[in-house]
Amino acid sequence: MNFASTPEHDALRDQIRTFARDRLNHDVVGRDRERRFSPDLWRTCGTHGLPGLPAPVEHGGRGFDPLTCVVALDALGYGCTDHGLTFALCAHLAACVVPIWQFGTEAQQRRYLPGLCDGRLIGAHAMTEAEAGSDSFNMRTVAERTAGGWRLHGAKKFVSNALHADLIVAFALTESSTRFHGGVTAFVLERSTPGLTISAPIDTMGLRTASVADIRLEDVRVEDAHVLGGVGAGAGVFARAMDWERICLFAAHVGQMERLLDRAVTHARTRQVGGVAIGKHQAVSHRIADMKVRVDAARLLTYRAASRLGVTRAVALDAAIAKLFVSEALVQTAMDTVQILGGNGYATDHEVERALRDAVGARIYSGTSEIQRNIISGWLGL
Amino acid sequence: MIDPREIQSIVKAHILDRFLPQANADELTTETPLIAGGILDSLATVRLVTFLEERFGIEVKAHEANAENLGSLAQIADLVRRKVDRA
């Protein structure tokens, strides 16, 4: 067990924090108000290889191991105040790049990974349905066999990146009697596929610089070459994507928590009331001490989970623990920062209130906190 | 070559311990339907596959974690034996 970071990780962290702070934070308040995703910033991230961190170098990725990916995304979360952009990048990476890299055929990898890695293509992941929210495999979307291919029919809800996605990994029932056990198949769908339509954007409390929309699949016909990971492999593809998402996306949240902590410390040391810095009052300093404990615990859980990605399938437990803790800690940290900054924390142009709005979704996406507790207790045999 | 009966015995002990702690061991036969009978739900399946991979040093691929390979002790033993023999 070694808790020391390497010089390579330190250099990567510094490089990405600087890049994000200097290049990604322009007019975030305005874009949040206008609910505007920035394709330009996405491409800027592409020039730095962020959308393809773990993908093999020969397919345009940076070939990072999971722990290095987490270091990079932690740094992105710290440096980038556009939480919607960070969310969109992580969703793309974990739920589209990783499945195609790990389960795609050579032809699928050659066709899609270079563009997904360099910022030319945006990926999405379509699993949730209206009648099957947390009970994902109770889906209604079906894929029926046709001569030489498949015909898909159904609807997906709350698809992150949907408005701008060029490529969607979508899940459908191919054998209704077995569902989780070999009855679900993943498909790679290109945006231009006839019958695939995307709804108007869904207005959300936070992460307004990312896009979320519903998808309809009406008589969508694709060839066998669009099957991802084999017929009936959907449960495995989905599980792998969730392992990566619950670790990588929440690594970015650890970075966001540390940025909020630094903001709170700076404010508490410089803001004076009655000639005394407010940080000298225990009501403030103890709150900040708790924030520090949460950041460090969140980072340890996330990095431990990352070190087990690809090593054992039991990482699903580590990922659930990390996801649950980080999401709850992020909301609490954002609440504490608002409280410490007082009126400035509540005002919309100081970015802290947006951090709180952006944090709330973390307890819902990638499986709610309740689902994570179900997973954890299930692993304990309960 | 590993004896299928030995695999069945190891897996049976694991399932009884982890998923059927109150059950009578005699009621879990080689043909008891594990998936159709609701013993292996989605999370239990992931935990069982994790156990098989770590205990027998094999890899169960995403498309293999289905009712044909994990539906009963006999089918699980057959899957493990094929993978161990191939290694």
CA-to-CA separations, A95 to A91, A107, A161, in angstroms, rounded: 6, 19, 11
CA-CA distance, B55 to B12, in Å (whole number)?
A: 13
**CA of A372 to nearest chain B CA: how many angstroms apart?**
12
Burial of A217: CB neighbours in 10 Å, binned 0-12, 13-18, 19+: buried
**Chain A partners within 8 Å of B61 (Cβ):** 230, 233, 236
Tell me whether B61 touches chain A (CB under 8 Å): yes
**Chain B partners within 8 Å of A181 (Cβ):** 35, 40, 45, 65-67, 70
The residues of A whose Cβ lies within 8 A of any Cβ of B are: 103, 137, 178, 180-183, 229-233, 235-237, 239-240, 312-314, 316, 374-375, 378-379, 381
**Contact criterion met (CB below 8 Å) for A181 and B66:** yes
CA-to-CA separations, A96 to A10, A133, A240, A317, in angstroms, rounded: 28, 20, 11, 22
Mutate to test the interface with A, among B50, B63, B69 (most CBs of A within 10 A): B63
CA-CA distance, A370 to A251, in Å (whole number)?
A: 20
CA-CA distance, A156 to A228, in Å (whole number)?
A: 18
**CA of B56 to nearest chain A CA: how many angstroms apart?**
13
Residue of A nearest to B14 (CA): A381
Reported for A129-132, long-range contacts at CB under 8 A and 24+ positions apart, including other chains, are: A129/A154, A129/A155, A129/A156, A129/A157, A130/A155, A130/A157
Residue of A nearest to B45 (CA): A181
Cross-chain residue pair A312–B65, CB shorter than 8 Å: no
Tell me whether B49 touches chain A (CB under 8 Å): yes
CA-CA distance, B60 to B37, in Å (whole number)?
A: 22
Model confidence pTM above 0.90? yes
ipTM, two decimals, is: 0.85
Tell me whether B50 touches chain A (CB under 8 Å): yes
Clarify whether A190 is annotated catalytic. no
Task: Characterize the bridge pairing of strands A212-223 and A196-198.
Answer: antiparallel
Tell me whether B22 touches chain A (CB under 8 Å): no
In the set A218, A223, A245, A353, the catalytic residue is A245
- From A103, A181, A239, residue closest to B66, measured CB to CB: A181
As a whole number, the mean pLDDT across chain B is: 93
CA-CA distance, A197 to A201, in Å (whole number)?
A: 12
Assess whether pLDDT exceeds 80 at residue B12: yes
Residue of B nearest to A236 (CA): B62
Beta strands in A58-194 (DSSP E): 123-126, 142-146, 149-160, 167-173, 184-190
Cross-chain residue pair B65–A379, CB shorter than 8 Å: no
Cross-chain residue pair B65–A182, CB shorter than 8 Å: yes
pLDDT per residue as tens, chain A (382 positions): 788 889 999 999 999 999 999 999 999 999 999 999 999 999 999 999 999 999 999 999 999 999 999 999 999 999 999 999 999 999 999 999 999 999 999 999 999 999 999 999 999 999 999 988 767 788 999 999 999 899 999 999 999 999 999 999 999 999 988 888 999 999 999 999 999 999 999 999 999 999 999 999 999 999 999 999 999 999 999 999 999 999 999 999 999 999 999 999 999 999 999 999 999 999 999 999 999 999 999 999 999 999 999 898 899 999 999 999 999 999 999 999 999 999 999 999 888 999 999 999 999 999 999 999 999 999 998 8
